[in-house]
Amino acid sequence: MCTVTFIPAKEAVYITHNRDEKKLRARAVPPQLYTIKNFQLVFPRDGHAGGSWIALHQNGGAAVLLNGAFTKHQHQPPYRKSRGLAFLDILTGSDLFLSYQQISLEAIEPFTVILWTGTALYECRWDGTQKHIKSLDALQSYSWSSATLYDADVIEKRNNWFTTWLQQHPQPAMEDIINFHLFGGEGDAHNDLRMNRDGITLTVSITALKIQPYIGLMQYLDLQDNNSYQQALSFKNAALTQ
């Protein structure tokens, strides 16, 4: 997996994620409120390994996971734990960026995590050997595609779709962004945002976050049963997002 967009707006920050997985993978559990190590989190839970790929944190932050770092890597098990469980380990601290800096990722498969702290945005990549951290301008919009599913040319094409769509929707609402994640592309099911590769690997869900100064909303679309779920989280001691 997957496809991620980050869009700052006047009154909120939007983070949206398409989860691309094998159809036979166990169905995920829709978003719920969890308390882990005294921190309140909202996230959907992977039905196979129990981890997650997107979460809201009680401090007003959020994070989202993509498989792979810079390029497609060779799968070399055994790994110490799943990327989704390592992702939750990063989330169970008071400072998400510090948690990523301090966590040991030895024997964890490469991944990318986009961290929103409530005031700052970071692109964090683990290539299997080394951590790479890039500070981003939180007033700009971004898109990412998983290096395990899309080569550099396709990633560039997908970024261009996003740029064109933003020009047409300069002040998008959450519904607009979800529609882009549902229908963005050029009619190529192999590489469109909602992808389907011969019914084997496909987009199984879309998760959208709307983050405001004191509350976050997670909307989850299960594309396998066409159900929609919502879960809100009131932030505690949150840094202002604007």
Q: pLDDT for 209-230, tens place per residue?
A: 999 999 999 999 999 999 999 9
Inside any domain, residue 52: yes
Inside any domain, residue 142: yes
Q: Rounded to whole angstroms, how far apart are CA atoms 216 and 14?
A: 10
Inside any domain, residue 239: no
Q: What is the pLDDT of residue 43?
A: 98
Q: pLDDT for 47-59, tens place per residue?
A: 888 999 999 999 9
What CATH number did the domain enclosing 158 receive? 3.60.60.10
Where helices occur in the chain by DSSP H, the ranges are 83-91, 96-102, 152-168, 174-183
Full residue range of the structural domain in which residue 57 is found: 3-234
Helix/strand/coil percent split, the chain, to 5: 20, 40, 45
Inside any domain, residue 40: yes
CB 28 within 8 A of CB 45: yes
Number of domains in the chain: 1
Q: Rounded to whole angstroms, how far apart are CA atoms 66 and 127?
A: 12
Query: Average of pLDDT values for 6-13?
Result: 96
Look at residue 241 and tell me whether its pLDDT is greater than 80.
no
Q: Which residue from 207, 211, 240, 242 is spatially nearest to 29, judged by alpha carbons?
A: 207
Q: pLDDT for 89-111, tens place per residue?
A: 999 999 999 999 999 999 999 99
Q: Rounded to whole angstroms, how far apart are CA atoms 240 and 242?
A: 5
